[in-house]
Amino acid sequence: MRYILILCCLFSLPGFAQWKNYVIGVKGDTLNRVDKQDRKQGPWIVRYEEIRGEPGYEEEGEYKNGKKEGAWRRYSLTGDIAAIENYRWGFKDGMNKYFNLNGELVKEEGWRALNPDKVYDTIDVEDPASPDTYKKVIVKNEGASLKHGTWKYYDATAGFITKTEFYLLGKLENNDNPLDGVVAKPKSDSANAKAKAKPKPKEVLDFEKQNSGKKKVKVRDGKTF
């Protein structure tokens, strides 16, 4: 048995030897790995304590060659979800979601990461006049993500969208209507009923006025017996 344990250790040593630093997780997996070039690699879990009135949080995700890659999740120190962010090449990319202290969605942001290895990057942009039709746009790489796509702001209590914005490669698209994209608070059922109710014809109003207070009103309904 002792020889088997020694043999297992010998096989496991090369795997750990490639890391300059790492942490063993509760499941026995290696976390927070740093390679020989001082680059963060693989799954990471980081905890930030509260400081100067700012709430602390934990975040978890993966690094690839020292840069955030894929989905990263941020939690409050009590374990509630605070944000879900997506990264590519270390920059925000795709749709990111943010939540309040109760775990309710309050904002969605669209981002587009640019390839840091290129001076110019090519992006497929959907034609607003023709859905599902895309054209290629060449963008100068400024070394950061661009706001790109729809941004939504939510009333977390009521659960509806209060404002929407659309960004095209970092620029906010102008709206002809200043209220375009703003969703008003839904009306109550009684308000909707009043809005849908049509005004009665003058003849009906006169008839109701003449017969007001009478116990029984005889009317002709067009039936024949």
pTM: 0.66
The pLDDT value given to residue 140: 87
Same domain, 60 and 19: yes
Same domain, 131 and 50: no
Pairing of strands 171-172, 160-168: antiparallel
Same domain, 34 and 117: no
In a domain, 153, yes or no: yes
In a domain, 87, yes or no: no
Q: 172: part of which helix (H) or strand (E)? A: strand 171-172
Same domain, 58 and 141: no
Same domain, 37 and 126: no
Answer with the one of 47, 79, 111 that is the final residue of a domain: 79
For the chain, how many structural domains are there in total?
2
Among 90, 136, 83, residue whose Cα is nearest residue 117:
90
The pLDDT value given to residue 205: 63
Same domain, 38 and 131: no
The pLDDT value given to residue 202: 60
Same domain, 44 and 131: no
In a domain, 38, yes or no: yes
Same domain, 59 and 131: no
Same domain, 51 and 114: no
The pLDDT value given to residue 59: 97
Same domain, 125 and 178: yes
Q: What percent of the chain has pLDDT over 70?
A: 69
In a domain, 1, yes or no: no
Per-residue pLDDT tens over the stretch 110-143: 999 999 988 988 888 877 667 778 888 888 888 7
In a domain, 197, yes or no: yes
pLDDT at position 1 over 60 = no
Question: Residues 6-28: what's their mean pLDDT?
Answer: 66
CA distance 38 to 19: 9
Q: What's the gap between Cα 177 and its chain centre?
A: 25
Can you tell me which residue has the tokens 């034609």? 127
Same domain, 113 and 31: no
Question: Residues 170-184: what's their mean pLDDT?
Answer: 57
In a domain, 86, yes or no: no
Per-residue pLDDT tens over the stretch 149-163: 999 999 988 878 999
In a domain, 126, yes or no: yes
In a domain, 199, yes or no: yes
Same domain, 113 and 164: yes
Q: Most confidently modeled of 9-18, 21-30, 64-73?
A: 64-73
Q: What's the gap between Cα 168 and its chain centre?
A: 17
**Range of 67's domain?**
11-79
CA distance 80 to 6: 43
Q: Sign of dihedral through CA atoms 203, 204, 205, 210?
A: positive
Per-residue pLDDT tens over the stretch 62-118: 999 999 999 999 999 999 999 999 999 999 999 999 999 888 999 999 999 999 988
Which of 9-23, 28-42, 194-208 is the least confident region? 194-208
The pLDDT value given to residue 191: 42
Per-residue pLDDT tens over the stretch 179-225: 444 443 444 444 444 444 455 556 556 656 665 555 444 434 434 43
Answer with the one of 33, 64, 79 that is the final residue of a domain: 79
pLDDT at position 47 over 50 = yes
